[in-house]
Amino acid sequence: MAILRNRIRARTAVGPFGKNLWKNRAGTAAMEFAIVGPAFLALLLAIMYTMLIYLAQQMLETAAEGAGRLVLTGFVQTTQKANGTIGMSASEFKNAICNGASGTNPSGEAVSTPALLPPLLSCSRLTVNVTTASSYNVASTAAPTFTYDSNGILVSTGTGYDHQSNGSGKNRIVVLQLIYLWPTGKGPLGLNLIDEPNANRKLVATSVFTTEDYSCNASQTSC
């Protein structure tokens, strides 16, 4: 009898505790987050991963528009720089896009352009391609093909710098492209936007226009 009474007392004591434990919902939110949280964070990172690429593309498009205007108005072809030379070489044009440039125009007035490449983009990863076309129908806006050696080093960009194509650069159809190797990697949830070696994605911004009938510098026979 004593043993039976002890068992009855034990069940009586545990009863309310068991009911309270069953009704207790403390920690439910933490458990649900532990289940859903990793997928939510992965989705959030994937959105940011894609957003940065689109942001870089938009900034490159804006830079291409500004760079195209430098060629369209004859700034690149006719500006006399501080060292006395007139017109910009391929490297000087790229430097003007990255860091800005100044000089004098054919009228002797001081002219300048600010840096067009945003701070988020590095000049060392930028390639500039300038070509001409005989008509808009045949103007090629395809992305240039980059080639690499066996060590993954970029050896050819397939790009050039030609805004005249013999004779004057005035009233020419010009295709200007800014190509940028955006450093990236594989994103969460299997997201992979890499399309170039060394975990890069190639971004291309294109501007097509006809150059104006600008004035050449007095010392230029053709511009």
Is the residue at 4 inside a domain?
Answer: no
> Counting Cβ atoms within 10 Å, is residue 180 exposed (0-12), middle (13-18) or buried (19+)?
buried
Give per-residue pLDDT as tens, 47-76: 888 899 999 999 999 999 999 999 999 999
Of 206, 128, 130, the C-alpha closest to 162 is 130
Full residue range of the structural domain in which residue 99 is found: 48-210
Is the residue at 64 inside a domain?
Answer: yes
Tokens 């806006």, residue located: 141
Is the residue at 104 inside a domain?
Answer: yes
Is the residue at 90 inside a domain?
Answer: yes
Residue 102 CA to residue 115 CA, distance in Å, equals 11
Give per-residue pLDDT as tens, 113-161: 999 999 999 999 999 999 999 999 999 999 999 999 999 999 999 999 9
Q: What is the pLDDT of residue 18?
A: 53
Is the residue at 161 inside a domain?
Answer: yes
Radius of gyration over every alpha carbon of the chain, rounded to an integer in angstroms: 32
Give per-residue pLDDT as tens, 73-114: 999 999 999 999 999 999 999 999 999 999 999 999 999 999
Residue 20 has pLDDT above 90, yes or no: no
- Residues whose CB falls within 8 Å of the CB of residue 43, separated by 6 or more in sequence, listed in order: 188, 189
Q: What is the pLDDT of residue 4?
A: 47
Q: How many domains would you assign to the chain?
A: 1
Average pLDDT, rounded, for the chain: 87
Is the residue at 33 inside a domain?
Answer: no
pLDDT classification of 189: cutoffs 50, 70, 90: confident
Strands (E), the chain: 101-104, 110-113, 126-133, 147-148, 154-156, 173-183, 200-210
Parallel, antiparallel, or unpaired: how do β-strands 154-156 and 110-113 relate? unpaired
> Which residues does residue 102 pair with via DSSP β-bridges, in sequence order?
112
pLDDT classification of 217: cutoffs 50, 70, 90: confident
Is the residue at 143 inside a domain?
Answer: yes
Q: How many CB atoms within 10 Å of residue 192?
A: 13
Is the residue at 39 inside a domain?
Answer: no
